[in-house]
Structure formats: C-alpha cells, structure tokens
Structure 1
Amino acid sequence: MLGRPLSTSSRWIQHSVAGPSRLPLTRPPLSCRHASSFDPISWLSRTLSPSTFGKTDESEAKEDEKEIIPEKPTESSNIFATDPVKEEPQAPLSASRTSRTRPTVPLKPRQVQVSNIPVPFHKETTMPFVISHRKLNKLGRQIAGKPIDYAILQMQFSEKRAGSKIKDLLTSAKQKAVQRRKMDSPTLVVAEAWVNKRATRSKKMVAQGRGHRGVRVKRSATMTVVLKEGKTVEQQKANERKRKLSRIVSAAVTREDKPLRNPAPMWTW
C-alpha cells in the first residue's frame, strides 16, 4: 500500500515537470548578460609564470624567491627596450678594400714604338662652284683610291660638267706634292676624296601658270682630295695576279695542301 502512492506521486511529478510539450528534463541555461571577471591575459601569466605550488616547506619557497634577481631597469620604461649597442669605428672603404685584396703592383707603361717621321701627304680643295653636292660626290667616288695619273685620265674623258674642274684640281695637287712635299710622282695615289656643301649662291623667282610662282635655288659645293704615296700600277697588277694564282686549286700530280673551294655535291662524284 505504501508503494502505490509513491509511484503515483513520482509519476505526477514527472508529468508536472515535463508538461504537454514533452520537453526533456534539462537544466535551463544561466543568464550571461553580466560582465565576466575572467581575464585571459592574467590567467596566461599565472599559468606560465613559475610558482611555488607543490612546495612542502615555506622556507624553500622563500629561498626560490630570493634567488630570482630582478634585472636592472633601463632608462625607458618600455618593456621592449634594450641596452644600447656600442658601434665600433669602421675603417675607411679604401683601406678595407686594400686589406682584403692583394697588394697592387704598379703597371709599367706600355711602350709603343712611334716613328717620328710623319707620313707625307698633300691636301687640295677646289673653289666653291655651282653644282649639286650629290652630283659632285659621284665623281669623288670615281677617283677615290686610284693612282693620280689614272684619276686624271678618268676626268679627262668624263662627260660630266665638273670633270674639267676636278682634272685641274688633280693636276695642281700632283705638282705641289712633288715640288713642296718632295713626294714620288709614280707612287702618288688619291687616298681620300670628299665633298662639302657651300653657301647658296642665289635665289631666282620663276613665273608659273595661273598666277603661281616658284623659287629656283643655285647650290654650291667643293671637293677635297688627299694625295699619299702608295703602290704603282705595276705593283697593283702583280699583287692581283698573285692573289688569283693562289686561289687556283687542282688535283694535279702534286697535291696542294689547301682546302677545297666550292666543292661539288657528293652525288656527282
């Protein structure tokens, strides 16, 4: 009899707590609206700092505290402050480099044998005359590098209007080189020949149709030649013949120790 009312009472308690929604019997969450007194930084410092936990004797703990000697504070109160480092005096850059490298040996000046005898030459220039510098430059390329007699012969039979003036220039330059510079006439060569522009001589108006007009400009130019001693025509011909003979390579009775030039394809052998 006693057990029945207890069962009914316990059943009544369960139903009264659960309710019609059949919610599980759990503890309701506590309110967290108030500020927490837990500080993670202080907890971390207490956890990692050496403590006297586990010391059986208080005297041992006091001895450990005495052994910890605080560091001497610096001038600034910053926790990241460090002692100033004394800078050592550095040697000059030139001294440090010379100490690392090998001792330099003074170089002797290179002796170049220069002959005191100047190379004789003669330069001659024409007077400015009306001609285009492009037309005159063609004559300069024609006589450059030629023997003086051959250049005079070319200008003598040239069909250009300026040919006669260039011929007179070469003739006078040859005479002055032989008389003044004491140069050998058969070996004279036109070593250089160039053309320079000169001032514009005149501008002339040219009438054109329908009320138009144009300007005709007369240009002027000069030619300069330099005569030097070189090889005669006979020497040049002999050197050319020697060069052509050296290029001849044939499979004769006596083989020549020279490489083949322009070999034929193998399938034609």
Structure 2
Amino acid sequence: MPLPDPRPVVVAALRAAGCVFAEDEAELLLAAARTPGELADLLDRRTRGLPLELVLGWAGFRGLRVTVEPGVFVPRRRTEFLVGQALAQVPGASVVVDLCCGSGAVGAALADALGPVELHAADIDPAAVRCARRNVARYGGQVHRGDLFEALPDGLRGRVDVLAANVPYVPTGEVGRLPAEARDHEPLIALDGGADGLDVLRRVAAGAAHWLAPGGRLLVETSERQVPTALAIFGDSGLSARVAVSEEWSAHVVIGTPGFSPPAAPAR
C-alpha cells in the first residue's frame, strides 16, 4: 500500500507558520529530505522561523546553489542585478574582487559567467570567510580575511577590473525593523551601515580608485533614498558615478570608475 503524499501536510504547516510561498518551499524541503524523519526536522526548523536557505544549506543565486551557513549573510536575489551590471559594464574582466563578500555569492556568480578570472573575495567575519572559500573554490578563487582593502594582496593595486562591494547599508536605527529572518539570524556587521547606512560605502569609495584598473568599475548596492548621497560620496572620492535601477527587483546599484588620478594612496 503506497504511503500517503506528505505534500498537503507540509504545505499546511508552512502556511500556518506564515510562509508566503508555502508550495514552493514544500517542494524544496521534500527534495532535500531523504527520510520522513529528516523531513520532519527540516519542517520543524523552518516553521520555527529559521530562514529557508539555512534550513536547506544553500541559496539560489543566478542559477548557482551557493552554500550558506548559520551566522552568514544570505545573498539576496536583488543582488543578482549588481552582478548583471558588472557583466554589462566590464564584459572582458579578468580580475574580480568581491569585497564584503559574505558567502562569496557575487564573486562566484561573476566567475561562473566570465570564465577563467583571477578572483579574490574578502570579509572581516571569519564565518563568512570559511563559507566563501567553499563557494569560490571551484573557480580557483582566493578568500582573504580582514577589514575591506586591508585584506587584499598589494599586488592587486591598480589591476582590479570589477570591484563588487555588497556593503551593509541599513541605517542603525532601522535594523530593528528588518524582517526577523534577517534580524535574528544574520550577523549585525553584515546589516548595519551606521547612522545613515553609508559608513562602509564611504570607506570603500575612498579607497577604490587605488585598486581599480583603467576602465575598472566599482559597483555598490544601496537603497533608493540613499542614491543621491552615495553619488556625491563617489564624486568626492574621485569616481565618476551613475546609478542603475531595476524596478523588477527594487534594486539600486551605484557604479563608479576613476574620473581622474587619485591622490597618493592612504596608509593601510
């Protein structure tokens, strides 16, 4: 006698827990579980509020399954727009840096699309560094731990074609209003961008011109209301800047390229 289909029970439990895409999530949980016991465990973790990506151990990002671990920022689908802009701006990039890399999703997606590249990723959080190493290994990428540019090898100065920096940009006072999945399960350092949300963006913009190759691009995601200030910050840092917008993803990416010779490189 065939066993009853567990889908209706799983969908009902997910709906009761407030999961908007209960049917889609049920399919993923069912595919991941090898036994009824595993399914029960996965379902329990999800209905108790653990992000789906952490329940599964991966997040979908530009067609890739990116490994994610507890305590690591989960890549957002809207950040795929940043990757697309980088590919459009510098289609022949050979040196790519994923700064504030988190899981390394951006760097992995760029390397996957570009083919053989010299890929570097960096993050200050040791959990992120461990996770990113798993995701960029297949592309021969190197992951460095440290505070922004301090983490990078000096040999990259003036050679970077794509500098993608998915910086934290939530103002400190708004972190508490984030969805519980982010607020309760992701590291504060990956969310909190300071009083106006742009503290880390300022530091990245200030140093970028010394690392970019001629024709290289810095790409940073931000919010719609932060765009005017972000553009001004880029300009003050010696970068010609523009913004790209995706209405579909509600995504805003500020794109900068060195507009003139920068002053002497600051001490690291």
TM-score (norm 1): 0.18
Kindly indicate which of the two structures has a greater share of residues assigned to helix. Answer: 2
Greater strand percent: which structure? 2
Q: TM-score, normalised by structure 2?
A: 0.18
Structure possessing the higher radius of gyration over alpha carbons: 1
Higher relative contact order (CA 8 A, sep 6+): 1
